[in-house]
Chain A
Amino acid sequence: MRPTLLVFRRELAAYFSTPVAAVFLIVFLALSAGMTFLVSGFFDRGQADLSGFFFWHPWLYLILMPAIAMRLWAEERRSGTIELLMTLPVEPWQIVLGKWLAAWAFAALALVLTMPLWITVNWLGSPDNGVIVSSYLGSWLMAGAFLALAAAISGLTKSQVLAFIAATAVSFLFVMAGYDLVISTVRSWAPAIVVDAVRSMSFLEHFRRITEGVLEFPSIVFFVSLIVFCLWLNIQVVQVKKAA
């Protein structure tokens, strides 16, 4: 585990070596607060809960998580440091895991910084803190899935911009998978089992279940297995690129 920890520490430090981290955190906080107060009408609802806050997370993550993950591998390829990294006596999975963990920890920090909102609802009323805790954890888990997906895509290119666009596009499919618009399109040509499969991939649907109540077990399994699969894919991407 030591190499994983070393890569994790290096990557996390890299986020804070430029003002990009601060900019990102400010954008995340401004957007999530803006959506909660202005669009969801936090005060008008007259309810002491954070559903109006969590509702926007899949959409925020759609843009912001690829932005966090895009540099993980693309930057290594562009600068040539990948050659250094991949000739060190460590297993590729240790590096893949370390990088993803760093991005995930950064996402955790962004979430932690929204906690004043949680304090506020507790001050205004008496929310169901169990739901809020499970929503925070669910949101973090979903962020992990977005990040794992974007990290794997980042391994395919040396351009961060390309990595960002491709990751956002793929993430968009996952977010939209639950919408009637998508489902009805699929239903018109695919058998029921495919329709169900597509529906079951929906980030929105799984996240909604988590935020509605207790941590829903199948949804947790969904996000965890998607993370594991994407990390595995990331390892393959890094290996296959070796042969090309």
Chain B
Amino acid sequence: MALVEARDLVKRFGSLTAVDGISFKVERGEVVGFLGPNGAGKSTAMKMISGFLLPTSGQAWIDGHDSHADAIAARRRLGYLPEGAPAYADMSVGAFLSFIAAMHGLRKAQANDRLAELVERVHLAEVWNQRIDSLSKGFKRRVGIAQALVHDPDVLILDEPTDGLDPNQKYEMRALIRAIAARKAIIISTHILEEVEAVCGRVIIIARGRMLADAAPDVLLAGAPHAGALAVTIATGDPQRAIEIISKEPGVAKVAVAERVNGVTHLLVQTAQKAPSASELAGALGRADIAADEIYLKRPTLDDVFRQITTATEH
């Protein structure tokens, strides 16, 4: 049985449909990235799965427990970082985490062991006795993560876990997520695409409340516009001839001038099934005495995929 399941989740606020029929399952060991523009419904979907918001229709289960009808059992298995990593500003980090641990039913000794371990993992030792409202954004976010991990839950739902962290902290946070991923089902929301590639085995793209894609990052990349295309830069020689020569190469579907900058021509070579390699193209051009400054396989980015998918439905 899947650790997290959402079925036909719908949330309407008055006439606005924030989430419009989201269904998916997350198994143990999976890290799923919720990706979408701001206001796409990511947070609303997470709030419904966590049991904070009642869905207009549809259901969500945490480890087989309905997150509303069987809320207590579901929440015992859930670690949740809400949007903006809220925490009681008037408490010290230590008091706050102890409070959350106790609310999860951890006994004193148990909680202390667990917190000692977490402090190491999330690097909170230096601010342990500091009030939360005096912390930097990065520390606040880490307190939020620690709070979600305190009872070692099977399911983690993290709404923008790396927002506000500096690059080193982001790197550490991703390493932490990867380290615990094998034993848990994790959902993280983000609009940082590199993050998805760094930690997520699966991506769910949400825009305007609808799920537009649900696949592994490399599957999405394969479907990207210009997937497998080659970029060729011609500094000297006749670009028109270069285009003719490249077009005749086997496996080349289409050659177009991407841009011309200061007399340097950048070509984009779209390829069919069996694509020529960069060295084959260089060889062909070389035989015609055309020097290619640069030939490389254009690596499609999730940015391209994301833009393609999320803008496609706008029309």
Residue B215 interfacial (CB < 8 Å): no
Whether A83 touches B47, Cβ cut-off 8 Å, given contacts A14-B88, A89-B75, A242-B53, is yes
Residue B78 interfacial (CB < 8 Å): yes
A86 to chain B, nearest CB (A): 6
B159 to chain A, nearest CB (A): 9
Contact B86 A87 (CB under 8 A): no
The listed residue (B72, B82, B83) touching A91 by CB distance below 8 A is B72
Whether A79 touches B52, Cβ cut-off 8 Å, given contacts A2-B102, A87-B78, A89-B105, is no
- In the complex the two chains form, what is the Cα distance from A13 to B73 in whole Å? 29
B105 contacts across to A, CB distance below 8 A = 2, 89
Residue B191 interfacial (CB < 8 Å): no
B64 to chain A, nearest CB (A): 15
- In the complex the two chains form, what is the Cα distance from A81 to B91 in whole Å? 12
Q: Which residue of A lies closest to B148 (CB)?
A: A84
Q: How many residues of A contact B (CB 8 A)?
A: 22
Tell me the A40-92 residues at the B interface (CB within 8 Å). Answer: 79-81, 83-84, 86-91
Contact B100 A88 (CB under 8 A): yes
The listed residue (B54, B83, B88, B102) touching A242 by CB distance below 8 A is B54
B43 to chain A, nearest CB (A): 10
The listed residue (B52, B54, B76, B88) touching A83 by CB distance below 8 A is B52
Residue A6 interfacial (CB < 8 Å): yes
Q: Which residue of B lies closest to A85 (CB)?
A: B103
Q: Summarize A's interface: helix, strand, loop or mixed.
A: helix
Interface string of A74-112 (1 = CB under 8 A from B): 000001110110111111000000000000000000000
Contact B72 A90 (CB under 8 A): yes
Contact A88 B104 (CB under 8 A): yes
A2 contacts across to B, CB distance below 8 A = 102, 105
Q: Which residue of A lies closest to B92 (CB)?
A: A17
Tell me the B62-82 residues at the A interface (CB within 8 Å). Answer: 71-73, 75-76, 78, 80, 82
Tell me the B91-111 residues at the A interface (CB within 8 Å). Answer: 91, 95, 99-100, 102-105
A89 contacts across to B, CB distance below 8 A = 71-73, 75-76, 103-105
Contact A81 B87 (CB under 8 A): yes
Contact A3 B103 (CB under 8 A): yes
A90 contacts across to B, CB distance below 8 A = 72, 103
- In the complex the two chains form, what is the Cα distance from A101 to B100 in whole Å? 19
Size band of the interface chain B makes with A: 20 to 34
- In the complex, the number of residue pairs spanning A and B with C-beta atoms less than 8 Å apart equals 70
Q: Which residue of B lies closest to A94 (CB)?
A: B103
Residue B162 interfacial (CB < 8 Å): no
Residue B288 interfacial (CB < 8 Å): no
Residue B89 interfacial (CB < 8 Å): yes
Contact B86 A80 (CB under 8 A): yes
Q: Which residue of B lies closest to A78 (CB)?
A: B86
Residue A18 interfacial (CB < 8 Å): yes
- In the complex the two chains form, what is the Cα distance from A80 to B88 in whole Å? 9
Whether A87 touches B88, Cβ cut-off 8 Å, given contacts A6-B99, A6-B103, A80-B82, is no
B82 contacts across to A, CB distance below 8 A = 80, 83-84, 87
Interface string of A1-29 (1 = CB under 8 A from B): 01100100010011001100000000000
- In the complex the two chains form, what is the Cα distance from A19 to B86 in whole Å? 23
Contact A87 B50 (CB under 8 A): yes
Residue B51 interfacial (CB < 8 Å): yes
Residue B90 interfacial (CB < 8 Å): yes
Residue B84 interfacial (CB < 8 Å): yes
Contact B84 A84 (CB under 8 A): no
Q: Which residue of A lies closest to B151 (CB)?
A: A89
The listed residue (B73, B83, B99, B100) touching A80 by CB distance below 8 A is B83
Q: Which residue of A lies closest to B86 (CB)?
A: A80
Whether A243 touches B54, Cβ cut-off 8 Å, given contacts A6-B103, A79-B89, A88-B104, is yes
Residue B147 interfacial (CB < 8 Å): yes
Contact A79 B86 (CB under 8 A): yes
- In the complex the two chains form, what is the Cα distance from A131 to B26 in whole Å? 65
Which 5 A-B pairs give the minimum distances between C-beta atoms?
A80-B86, A17-B90, A83-B82, A89-B75, A243-B54
Question: Given A84-B82, A87-B52, A89-B76, list of 10 further CB < 8 A pairs?
Answer: A3-B103, A13-B90, A14-B91, A18-B90, A81-B87, A87-B82, A89-B72, A89-B103, A242-B53, A243-B53
